[in-house]
Amino acid sequence: MENVRSSTLPKKYHDAVVRWGQTFLPDYPLLLDNWEKFFPHDKRHELCAYRQMGMCDEIECGTMKGKPKFHKANEMTPELADHLLKAVKAQASTELGSIQQHQLTLARAPEEVDQFWVLRMMAEELRHGYQMFHVLLEDDWAAVSDTKGEDMVEEILQMRTGSHVLGAFNVDFDSFVDNIVFCALIDRVGKYQLAMQKVSAYKPMAESMPPMLQEEAFHLATGVVPIRRWVQSAAKEEGYVGMDHLQKVINKWFPRGLDMFGDERGGGSNVKMGLKPMNNAEAAKQYTEEVQQLVSDLNLRYLRARFPKLSRDEAQERLKRIVEKGDAVEGVGPDNLLRLPHHSFFRRRGIHAYQMIDIDGKKVETLDGFKSHLKSVLPEAYATARDMTKFFELMGKVVHGEVKADDAVHILPNLSRVGGVCPCSRAVRWVVDEPQKSNGH
């Protein structure tokens, strides 16, 4: 990376992230030991923050467009700082949250290469979390916010699957298919968020984005490449994952990905304040187009592997016929291929949140009907997972009029979040002033 400045956090925070990594990314030493084997000649992973130098100095969108960017927190209005801090916190939470999720099923990778790619990606997510901590800790937020950077860091380090800011990071992984589909679908949302924040009116945030985006490109490949291989194996009826299961895992993650863009009616104030160039709906639309392209490419790969005598053009024609007309040709119909669920299916944020809408976008009348629909289109292990139990509890309240859908949106995650540390909790205080104690008490 050219023209990039690297730095580390003050020691006690650096050590806190290292300790966190030892707990939630225990295979990090294994990654470093095998780096040359899987990533020969690539620059070795380092736990540090990178800032891209020489970026645009003027605010790039919104009402202050053309004015100088903010270099310090105290130059911003409290409202702007509040929006920014929320985004930084959400970003940091996603980075660390995904590591906790990936770790659950990492050992179940059927192929070593895929496992090490995911492991490298996890290490890079740790660096991304570190990067966001750097944004929080390098500045003094006292003039614009009641929240201290240090407290935010501690709070984020305390989060677990179930208490993260965004829903996608509160869902447990059930198999290695989750690791891979998550990279292809959820890291893709991450790419959008980072790309948008590259214009941030707060310069340290903008400068943090390009190095993260560079790594994100690899994360997307870590997802897409194994899925391409799996689809081709499925076509030959060999391999690890069938199309049916892959579809169910896509159904699990795509709605969470869309939720990550936020309410379709929102995002305008971020644009006005110069923090992002696109509102939520525009970004979600582009994201959907990308995922649709991925699905089409995968279907084409499936047909070509299943019918090797077809030329590319013939396979394209056949794909069109199957998808658009619903025809089955030589035993392959729409149900044998992949598809995107309707954008209103199984949503928890935005205008379709907590509506009972099936995968085709049609309304389901009863809660039981919706439950059995979800059971049939989601992976079996997920249908009985704690995330689904919580979802149905809340969904039931919405259906029975006890909670409004608009309010339900703000209820999950119903936090087991630990702010500070309660003397009776088992939580470790990650940031400690002295050399490590056995635990926080």
Partner 1 sequence: MATAKTGEIALRPVNELDIEAVCAIDEKLSGQDRPGEWERRISYYLRRDPELSLVAVEGKKVVGFMLGEVKAGEFGLEEPAGWIEVLGVDPQCQGRSVGKKLLEGMLAGFKARGAKAVRTLVNETGQKELFGFFEAGGFKSTPIRTLERKV
Where do contacts with partner 1 occur on this chain (CB under 8 A)? Answer: 2, 39, 42, 214, 217-218, 220-221, 223-225, 228-229, 232, 286, 290, 293-294, 297, 300-301, 304, 312
Q: Which does 128 bind (CB under 5 to 8 A by kind): Fe ion, partner 1, none?
A: Fe ion
Look at residue 221 and give the partner it binds from Fe ion, partner 1, none, a contact being a CB closer than 5 to 8 Å depending on partner kind.
Answer: partner 1
Q: Output the CA torsion sign for 288, 291, 296, 302.
A: negative
Q: Compare residues 120 and 348 and give the one whose CB is closer to partner 1.
A: 120
Q: At closest approach, how far in Å is the CB of 194 from Fe ion?
A: 7
**Smaller CB distance to partner 1: residue 231 or 271?**
231
Task: State in angstroms the smallest separation of the CB of 215 from Fe ion.
Answer: 7
Please, which residue, 236 or 441, has the CB nearer to partner 1?
A: 236
Provide the minimum distance between the beta carbon of 220 and partner 1 in the complex, in angstroms, as a whole number: 5
Cis peptide before 413 (omega within 30 of 0): yes
If contact means CB under 5 to 8 A according to the sort of partner, which of partner 1, Fe ion, none does residue 187 touch? Answer: Fe ion
Smallest gap from Cβ 285 to partner 1, in A, equals 12
What is the radius of gyration, based on Cα positions, of the chain? 22
CA separation for the pair 360, 344 (Å, rounded): 9
> What is the smallest separation between the CB atom of 2 and partner 1, expressed in angstroms?
5
> 88 vs 298, which CB is nearer to partner 1?
298
Minimum distance of partner 1 from residue 173's CB (angstroms): 21
Give the residue with the Cβ less far from partner 1, 265 or 312: 312
277 binds, among partner 1, Fe ion, none (CB under 5 to 8 A by kind): none
Output the smallest distance, CB 293 to partner 1, in A. Answer: 6
Query: Quick one: 42 or 46, whose CB is closer to partner 1?
Result: 42
Smaller CB separation from partner 1, 221 or 415: 221
Give the Cα separation of 48 and 31 in Å (integer): 17
What is the contact surface with Fe ion in residues (CB under 5 A)?
95, 125, 128, 187, 190, 216, 219
Among Fe ion, partner 1, none, the one that 146 touches (CB under a kind-dependent 5 to 8 A) is: none
